[in-house]
């Protein structure tokens, strides 16, 4: 079997809560002594993708949100498998314990009411409360009040009633700090600046915020009442009961964590995705008609079934972050119970477990105008957990006017991605990573027909190999095909002896799943070349050379299929090898390499209109039995050539941008390999 030269030792291994997380976590760690988790081992990568001028690239990703704590889709998946809510919570918040608390008040900032006054629809029996009085009846004897309004003046907060179309001050005088209104019905209808209104349980109060006349609107109510609109807003009420119970406990604990961090503050938490979504009991349109009721019987049952239950760690409420989907791997955080590990449930019935979208160069320019015309995007560090090497830690965007380095989460926000676990694919980059660890690999068909995956270290060596298939001796052509299906994984194309073209999708571990038939009629083709995205539309394309030496281009659709072919040109019959590709010149266009019968090696550079122009870059290559192009085998961000001659030694020929550097041996006994890709 081939022997390998080892490289350096490898490093081991929306959604919500961003605003509160940064402020509250620091406070809780300091005040409550929460133990921090060990930091994940960050790995260095060199995934540089040159951008097609005026074109697009595809971004494949996993999950929706930050991935810490409970995955809502994962909880649903677990519940469909019969997993109870306590076990779900134990998995997502390991080391936390179940505690029962009192149904105490939670105060929620109403973010939509931002006009420095609080207006509510009047009801019979309403009362007002402030720092001096509790539930003092309000009204004007013999008069009908249709609305109440709280405003702030230099002296404090004042209450006015709307009588016969005119505002009349109530006699209590100024209140300091806060002034609240509630009704015997247990609900208060708040009028919003945009003409709509919301019905809230509990009381609605105005609180001083900065200098007069600034005030904010706060809804104060029991925790269990608050949850009645939070839980169905965070998880669909049609989901299994144990998923809703897990959500109820997580949401209750999350709000309790916020409250414990600032117990005396005017408000404990907010009503947006920066905290937890809290829309109140009902929403009315400008005509006063109910448009949405934000509570549901199934989620009410989940709240009642877990009444007052929270998760504690270190004697205090845990910071129970959650997001829509972790993509199959929980993300680590700063706390001991925020650990990174595989999630067995997240993929079950989850439409956002994996995703992809196309991003234009112009969109990148809009997001990062300081770099000028974007030239490339390079992922420089990942978390080290999960497919592709995990979530993106740092990314470099470089252009005509300079470069900027941002965090993976900042890049996500700037482009509207679903998560920071993503990979640039469907591009000019030659994707050679079949093990989904962020490093290039090799696929080899052995003389005995077995298929092997050789895992690269990213710095020019091998981490090992394993057999991933057998019976490949019947395949006439085998080629690594980049990412044909926009899922972030490198596919393989093979033509069998009957001329049928097959696509093999990888399993992310170096192996491949079942084959998908692309189509018949490929028996007459001498070579298939997968250089990358030739036309800059974000989908991988294919070149094929027929028996007459004519090259054809098959534009990819990004779903594994191809559009109608068109003729590139004749004269390729004298080439003994044509190899993709990637971007060898850094101009954002796909190039490929071809070897002539006399041993000369040519680089064909992509042109403005999709054509290619060739130039000689080497001689003496006719003796190479195995020849392949790999994306950045040695970690310098450039493509490289790997070749093996009659001595069986495997050598790397590093591309320096305009020529090859000195070759070096990276393995021996490769004469047992029939096809290398």
Q: For the residues 608-614, what does the mean pLDDT come to?
A: 78
Phi/psi zone of residue 21: left (φ > 0), alpha (ψ -120 to 50 degrees), beta? alpha
Q: In terms of DSSP bridges, do strands 269-270 and 525-532 run parallel, antiparallel, or are they unpaired?
A: unpaired
Distances (CA, A) of 243 to 97, 107, 252, 329: 18, 26, 14, 18
SS (H, E, C) 298-332: HHHHHHHHCCCEEEEECCEECCCCEECECCCECCC
pLDDT in tens, 46-103: 788 888 888 888 899 999 999 999 999 999 999 999 999 999 999 999 999 999 999 9
Kindly report the pTM of this predicted structure: 0.81
pLDDT in tens, 16-31: 433 233 323 333 333 3
Q: Contact at 8 Å (CB) between 314 and 25?
A: no
pLDDT for 155 beyond 50: yes
Q: For the residues 407-436, what does the mean pLDDT come to?
A: 88
Residue with token string 């600046």? 193
Instruction: State the pLDDT at residue 458.
Output: 82
Binning pLDDT at 50, 70 and 90, where does residue 511 land? confident
> For residues 27 and 71, what is the distance between their CA atoms, to the nearest angstrom?
25
CB atoms within 10 A of CB 277: 19
Q: Contact at 8 Å (CB) between 456 and 8?
A: no
Greatest mean pLDDT range, 97-106, 370-379, 482-491: 97-106
What crossing angle do the helices spanning 72-80 and 241-261 adopt, rounded to 10°? 150
φ, ψ (nearest 5 deg) of residue 246: -60, -40
CA trace torsion 491, 494, 499, 501 (10° rounding)? -10
Q: Contact at 8 Å (CB) between 337 and 313?
A: yes
All structural domains of the chain, each given as residue ranges with its CATH number in brackets, are 41-62+352-423 (no CATH), 96-318 (no CATH), 440-673 (2.120.10.30)
Instruction: State the pLDDT at residue 8.
Output: 28
Q: What is the DSSP string of 472-518?
A: GGGEEEEEE---SSSSS---EEEEETTS-EEEEEE-SSS-EEEEEEE
Q: How many Å separate Cα 75 from the centre of its chain?
A: 18
Phi/psi zone of residue 661: left (φ > 0), alpha (ψ -120 to 50 degrees), beta? beta
Residues belonging to the chain: 677
pLDDT in tens, 628-673: 998 888 888 888 999 999 999 999 999 998 899 999 999 999 999 9
Structure tokens at 296: 């549901």
Q: How many Å separate Cα 548 from the centre of its chain?
A: 46
């Amino acid at each position: 079997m081939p022997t390998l030269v080892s490289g350096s030792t490898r490093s081991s291994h929306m959604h919500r809560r961003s605003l509160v997380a940064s402020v509250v976590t620091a406070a809780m760690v300091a005040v409550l002594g929460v133990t921090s988790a060990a930091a994940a081992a960050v790995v260095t990568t060199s995934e540089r993708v040159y951008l097609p001028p005026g074109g697009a690239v595809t971004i494949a990703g996993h999950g929706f949100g930050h991935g810490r704590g409970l995955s809502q889709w994962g909880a649903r998946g677990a519940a469909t498998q019969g997993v109870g809510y306590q076990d779900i919570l134990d998995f997502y918040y390991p080391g936390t314990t179940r505690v029962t608390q009192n149904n105490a008040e939670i105060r929620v900032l109403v973010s939509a009411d931002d006009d420095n006054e609080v207006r509510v629809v009047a009801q019979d029996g309403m009362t007002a409360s402030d720092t001096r009085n509790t539930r003092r009846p309000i009204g004007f004897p013999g008069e009908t009040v249709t609305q109440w309004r709280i405003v702030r003046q230099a002296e404090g907060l004042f209450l006015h009633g709307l009588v016969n179309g005119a505002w009349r001050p109530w006699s209590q005088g100024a209140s300091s700090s806060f002034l609240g209104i509630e009704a015997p019905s247990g609900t208060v209808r708040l009028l919003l600046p945009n003409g709509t209104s919301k019905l809230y349980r509990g009381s609605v109060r105005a609180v001083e915020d900065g200098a007069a006349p600034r005030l904010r609107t706060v809804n104060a109510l029991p925790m269990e009442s608050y949850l009645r609109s939070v839980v169905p807003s965070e998880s669909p009420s049609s989901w299994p009961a144990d998923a809703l119970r897990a959500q109820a406990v997580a949401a209750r604990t999350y709000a309790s964590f916020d409250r414990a961090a600032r117990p005396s503050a005017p408000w404990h938490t907010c009503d947006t995705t920066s905290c937890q979504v809290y829309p109140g009991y009902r929403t009315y349109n400008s005509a006063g008609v109910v448009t949405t009721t934000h509570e549901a019987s199934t989620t009410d049952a989940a709240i009642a079934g877990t009444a007052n239950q929270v998760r504690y760690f270190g004697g205090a409420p845990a910071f129970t972050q959650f997001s829509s989907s972790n993509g199959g791997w929980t993300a680590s955080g700063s706390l001991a119970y925020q650990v990174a590990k595989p999630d067995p449930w997240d993929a079950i019935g989850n439409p956002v477990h994996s995703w992809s979208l196309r991003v234009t160069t112009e969109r990148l320019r809009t997001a990062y105008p300081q770099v000028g015309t974007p030239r490339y995007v390079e992922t420089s560090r990942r978390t080290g957990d999960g497919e592709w090497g995990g979530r993106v830690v740092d990314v470099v965007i470089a252009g005509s006017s300079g470069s900027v380095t941002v965090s993976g989460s900042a890049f996500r926000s700037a482009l509207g991605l679903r998560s920071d676990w993503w990979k640039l694919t469907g591009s000019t980059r030659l994707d050679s990573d079949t093990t989904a660890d962020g490093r290039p690999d090799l696929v080899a068909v052995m003389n005995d027909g077995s298929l092997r995956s050789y895992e690269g270290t990213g710095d020019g060596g091998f981490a090992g190999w394993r057999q991933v298939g057998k019976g490949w001796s019947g395949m006439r052509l085998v080629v690594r095909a980049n990412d044909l299906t926009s899922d972030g994984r490198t596919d393989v194309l093979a033509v069998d002896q009957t001329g049928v073209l097959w696509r093999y999708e990888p399993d992310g571990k170096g192996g491949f799943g079942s084959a998908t038939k692309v189509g018949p009629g490929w028996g007459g083709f001498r070579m298939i070349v997968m250089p990358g995205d030739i036309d800059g539309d974000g989908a991988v394309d294919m070149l094929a050379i027929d028996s007459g030496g004519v090259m054809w281009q098959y534009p990819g659709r990004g779903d594994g299929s191809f559009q109608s072919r068109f003729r590139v040109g004749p004269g390729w019959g004298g080439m003994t090898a044509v190899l993709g590709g990637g971007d060898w010149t850094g101009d954002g266009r796909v190039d490929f390499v071809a070897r002539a019968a006399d041993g000369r090696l040519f680089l064909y550079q992509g042109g403005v209109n999709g054509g290619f122009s060739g130039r000689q870059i080497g001689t003496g290559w006719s003796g190479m039995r195995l020849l392949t192009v790999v994306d950045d085998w040695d970690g310098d961000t450039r493509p490289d050539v790997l070749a093996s001659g009659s001595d069986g030694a495997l050598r790397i020929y590093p591309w320096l941008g305009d020529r090859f550097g000195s070759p070096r041996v990276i393995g021996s006994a490769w004469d047992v390999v029939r096809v290398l890709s």
